[in-house]
Structure 1
Amino acid sequence: MIIAVLTALIVALSLVQYVRFRRKMSFAKVLPTVQPCYPVVGNGLLFLGKNGEERFTNLAGALDYPAKLFKLWLGVFPLICTSDPSMAQKILTHPNCMAKPFFYDFFKVDFGLFSAHYNVWKSQRKHLNTTFNLKILNGFVPIFDRCAQNLVQTLAKLPKGEPVPITDYMMRCTLEMVCATTIGSDAKQDSGVDKFMQMIQRIFHLASERVLSVHLHWERFYQFTKQFKEDVVLRKEAYCYANKGSEPTAGPQNHQPDDQRGLEDHPAGHHTGRTTHKIILQDAVDRRGAQVTRPDSNETDDDGYRRPQIFIDQLLELQEAKKLEEIEIIHNVYTIIVAGSDTSGTEMGYAALMLALYPEIQEKVYNEIVEAFPLLTPANFSPESLKQLEYSEMFIKECLRLYPVGPHIMREAIADIELDGMTVPKGTYFLVSIYNMHRKKEVWGPNADKFDPENFSPERSQGRHPFAFLPFSGGNRNCIGNRYAMISMKIILVHLLRSFKLSTKMKLEDLHFHFEALLRSTNEPKVILEPRTFAALSPKKGYYQSLEES
């Protein structure tokens, strides 16, 4: 009897909450809805029972809607969607739309910039902006240079004439870069780097799956699933790698309330004894105490470069100034390592494929590169020399346009806002489709689907809406590492084309995507690398030698 009464009470309360919710969302009645849409499941049939590729295709098709604002229903959750640049600007720059919806909680880095709640993000971003200023980024150029050299030397050892899964090697290179600039470690010497890359891709996949699986949104239910158990194991190992730690051991710790928990409180982060985050922090403190990476240090590395101030040292300075908590440092270190390597590596995989698919574009980029960095001398990278690569930058931007690593982004209104003549209530979720926006014929012309770096020529760019191109998101909550990514990708591109001529057996229509937080291809880009003469830099000797001899 008691159970029946409690059940009836729960059902009644749920219905009341549902009715209140529907009334709250009544403002959206005037907005068109993606079809087909049904009661309770909403647009769920576009995704239920579908594989990853079908989910991506159906979502991209649904978001290719002609209206500036429209609705997409995930069960009973309405998403207010747009792929219109002017509407995206209004949403992404509005001070009351800086929060991210609960979907981002699935990534379990609550205190990192990527998915932190609004109040945490607002405080962090102000302090962390200084860690990505141009002076510091330019100090990383020698590291980018060495890692790109390592990449071409590794590629030169592969069997000649065989298709290479290039994204794997690009991700290894960008992970080496980000580990060196974040925690000062050498991923090149780490045999576990390949496993780490596989782990973070799987973690992103599991989090992405939850977004379109409404029944997995409730954390208490999710904890009983096999996906959760896999997630726990993967995160333990990934956190250990990112934090240069040792093997974790099970054992809970009391740290913070459930809504403010850190790594050690999350089921994937339980440790006893000396936790992995204590290891990385202590290592950094010891290094700072020895003035190895102090900004006023004149110490140089083996190649004669002044040691740059890596991110962990900058974060510790902020902690000493009581501007960051320890858990914020750990989550941001993990965020930078994962986001910095996975995104740039994936994008450079697409870039390599585009070079191979369009030999005339490849030749134009190559000619510009060898003019700025002649083959018979070591590449002397500087802010001025990199600025000479105007067409190469146009090429990279075109890769980012058609293959934006973050295809869709979401925001949540933290207060009522006025938008397009409507009063949108607090708690409304917005979805901005960057993938669809970058392919809008109204913005990019009738050949919007065609790969053409001239889209970013001064002539064509004139008058284009500033929010028509958002590879790093937009507004105050854009990607803090956008300049880091552009500098590192340019340097990789220089070394790649000075070393190899690229071709492929793939066709553009072979490139398909599956639903993920990042833009993942179902069939990995593969290219054939033909060594160029006098292409590979020999760092020890300081001159170029043939790749055949390296």
Structure 2
Amino acid sequence: MFGVLITFITAALATYYYRFRRSRRRLYELAAKLPGPFDLPLIGSIHIGFGRGATEVMEYLLPKLDTVPTPMRAWAGPFLFVIADKPEHLAVVLNSQDCIKRSYVYDFFRTEQGLFNAEPELWRKLRKHLTPSFAIPSVKSFIPSFNQKADLLVKNLECLVGQAPFDMFYKVGEYALGTIAVNSLGLDLDNETSDFKQRYMENAEKMFTIMWSRMYKAWLQPELFYKLTSTYREEMERLRMFRGLTEKVLSMREEAKKQLSTTKVNAERDENNARRPQLFIDKLENISNETGILDEEGVKQNLDTFIFACNDTTSSVVSTTILMLAIHQDIQERLYQEIISVVPGSYIDYEDMSKLDYLEMVIKEAMRLFPVAAAVARTAEKEIQIGEFIIPANAQILVPVIKIHRNKRVWGERANEFDPENFSPEKCAMRHPYAYLSFSGGIRNCIGVKYAYITMKIVLIKLIKSYRFSTDLKLTDLKLHLSILLRIANGYMMRLERRETKESHT
């Protein structure tokens, strides 16, 4: 009897597998035409994640960037990934209406109503309603708060002058989270005496690293099996902490609204004759009340996404840029000279930033070598032709941003070195626009690019005017840590020396 049961189960599974393969015949036919150097029988490419953590995966993949063919295929169980990195191919993919949908792996971040991960229909509606919040007139009205919080960071770093090396990431994170709280919630976290900001950043980083690990550990992707693991239990605990901190921020905002009609920062905006912007949380609530496309959970998910994305992007890029300047003292000095010649005073306005050409080159070069996101992924809802290949419908298209940014065929033999001249006007004019994708590109590019650049420039200007940075690290020492956003595993360790200038930067 037992033998008959086994035979029946085996036959049923074989029949299901045959029908499954047959229903996807076109996908397999097109996939077979793509090279797949990481494929192994049955398990495909998932062996890359065996026994490797987030740092080890990057150490395994980085040396292979210039040797693997593209486009290429990689299987994660039944899911076909097509890796594409040629700029002319990416221009097609990222501008296709059939490639707006995010890959299924973004579901692991559990923000299905957030702009970051929303399905195309919801994404289009959210993008339409939220775009004015990130337009130049709106972002310019945040400049007083950026100046105020950057001055506070400069002041808080005073105690570290001449001391042992420290990690710049969390110091910049306090600035970033402070500005986001003011501009999105109208809440001044600098009045919060607890270690709230530190706990928020540390927990968010660990939580999103866990979520990201499911992308390259395919055996953790099925939710049924994942729920049996200790990793899932840790994720749920960190998710509760993350959401608990968001709830605390919201409750602090409601309390602040009862006590004060305006914040100090808003008063400063009025003094500078700048239009008071609508807070991001107000915009989300208006969208929810007036359109019904977001429920209460959707509002919180979008708020979570905005706070984390802005905080992590600013913290990562500013810290990386400072670290590159600490390693390359000649570049730091050239940038310092540009800054003091253009911005002699302590307050930085929008017009000042437009004159700092070398600053922009330095920031972009830091994001080239260390992009905020190491990769982005989309779902092909229909077949897409790129060059001689056809990407099948339902394939996951992986855009390896870090590989694109370090491609020696595009950036030359010194592609792994730090050289801001890569972004001189002459070199930019000669390069395909999709060879540089720090904020993604095409239809679903980052909505907060203008916000990010302005907040990053203001804090960098003030830091570089006030301090000289140095480090014991060398560029060749740096190891990368794979998370939702790319990290330097060594940390952003540096020393401070106060600059002697004619005016006090406060």
TM score, norm. by length of structure 2: 0.91
Partner of 1:412: 379
Letter in 2 for 1:524: G
Letter in 1 for 2:338: E
Letter in 2 for 1:544: S
Partner of 2:311: helix, strand, or coil?
helix
Q: CA deviation at 1:458?
A: 1.0
Kept in 1, the 8 Å contact 2:100–2:444? The answer is yes
Residue 37 of structure 2 is aligned to residue 34 of structure 1: yes
Q: CA deviation at 1:489?
A: 0.7
Residues of 2 paired with 1:437 and 1:412: CA distance?
19
Structure 1's 164 and 204: CA in aligned 2 closer, same or farther, altered over 3 A? same
Residue-by-residue CA offset, 1:328-384 (whole Å, 9 max, x unaligned): 32211110001110122011111111111111110111111111221xx422x2221
2:499 pairs, out of 519, 532, 536, with 532
Q: CA deviation at 1:98?
A: 0.6
Q: CA deviation at 1:138?
A: 0.4
2:92 pairs, out of 90, 93, 116, with 90
Residue-by-residue CA offset, 1:95-116 (whole Å, 9 max, x unaligned): 1001111100001111111112
Letter in 2 for 1:441: K
Partner of 1:233: 237
Q: Give the stretch that moved more between structures: 459-468 or 75-84.
A: 75-84
Residues of 1 paired with 2:125 and 2:270: CA distance?
38
Structure 1's 362 and 83: CA in aligned 2 closer, same or farther, altered over 3 A? same
Letter in 2 for 1:335: T
Kept in 2, the 8 Å contact 1:63–1:82? The answer is no
Residue-by-residue CA offset, 1:453-497 (whole Å, 9 max, x unaligned): 111111111121011111000011111111111111100111101
Partner of 2:80: helix, strand, or coil?
strand
1:59 pairs, out of 61, 64, 71, with 61
Kept in 1, the 8 Å contact 2:287–2:293? The answer is yes
Structure 1's 228 and 299: CA in aligned 2 closer, same or farther, altered over 3 A? closer
Kept in 2, the 8 Å contact 1:40–1:76? The answer is no
Question: Map of 1:124-523 to 2, 5 A cutoff?
Answer: 124-158=126-160, 160-190=162-192, 191=194, 192-244=196-248, 279=251, 292=262, 300-301=267-268, 304-305=271-272, 307-322=276-291, 324-326=293-295, 327-374=297-344, 377-379=345-347, 381-523=348-490
Q: CA deviation at 1:9?
A: 3.1
Higher relative contact order (CA 8 A, sep 6+): 2
Count matched residues: 497
Structure 1's 114 and 97: CA in aligned 2 closer, same or farther, altered over 3 A? same
Q: CA deviation at 1:44?
A: 2.5
Residues of 2 paired with 1:299 and 1:104: CA distance?
36
Letter in 2 for 1:83: D
> Structure 1 stretches of 5 or more lacking a match?
246-275, 536-542
> Structure 2 stretches of 5 or more lacking a match?
none
Q: CA deviation at 1:419?
A: 3.1
Residues of 1 paired with 2:237 and 2:17: CA distance?
34
Structure 1's 67 and 182: CA in aligned 2 closer, same or farther, altered over 3 A? same
Residue-by-residue CA offset, 1:393-434 (whole Å, 9 max, x unaligned): 111011011110101111101223333344433211111111
Higher helix share: 2
Partner of 1:80: helix, strand, or coil?
strand
Residues of 2 paired with 1:366 and 1:107: CA distance?
40
Residues of 1 paired with 2:261 and 2:158: CA distance?
37
Kept in 2, the 8 Å contact 1:34–1:62? The answer is no
Residue-by-residue CA offset, 1:482-525 (whole Å, 9 max, x unaligned): 11111111001111011101111111111101222211122102
Partner of 1:21: 24
Q: CA deviation at 1:75?
A: 3.8
Provide the alpha-carbon RMSD of the alignment.
Answer: 2.6
Residues of 2 paired with 1:457 and 1:88: CA distance?
23
Letter in 1 for 2:280: F
Q: Give the stretch that moved more between structures: 479-488 or 16-25.
A: 16-25
Residues of 2 paired with 1:108 and 1:143: CA distance?
31
Partner of 2:504: 544
Q: In percent, how many aligned pairs have the same letter? A: 31
Partner of 1:34: helix, strand, or coil?
coil
Structure 1's 445 and 302: CA in aligned 2 closer, same or farther, altered over 3 A? closer
Q: CA deviation at 1:181?
A: 1.1
Residues of 2 paired with 1:356 and 1:50: CA distance?
31
Letter in 2 for 1:514: H
Partner of 1:273: none
Letter in 1 for 2:20: Q
Residues of 2 paired with 1:440 and 1:299: CA distance?
45
Structure 1's 53 and 215: CA in aligned 2 closer, same or farther, altered over 3 A? same
Structure 1's 283 and 123: CA in aligned 2 closer, same or farther, altered over 3 A? farther
Kept in 2, the 8 Å contact 1:315–1:324? The answer is no
TM score, norm. by length of structure 1: 0.84
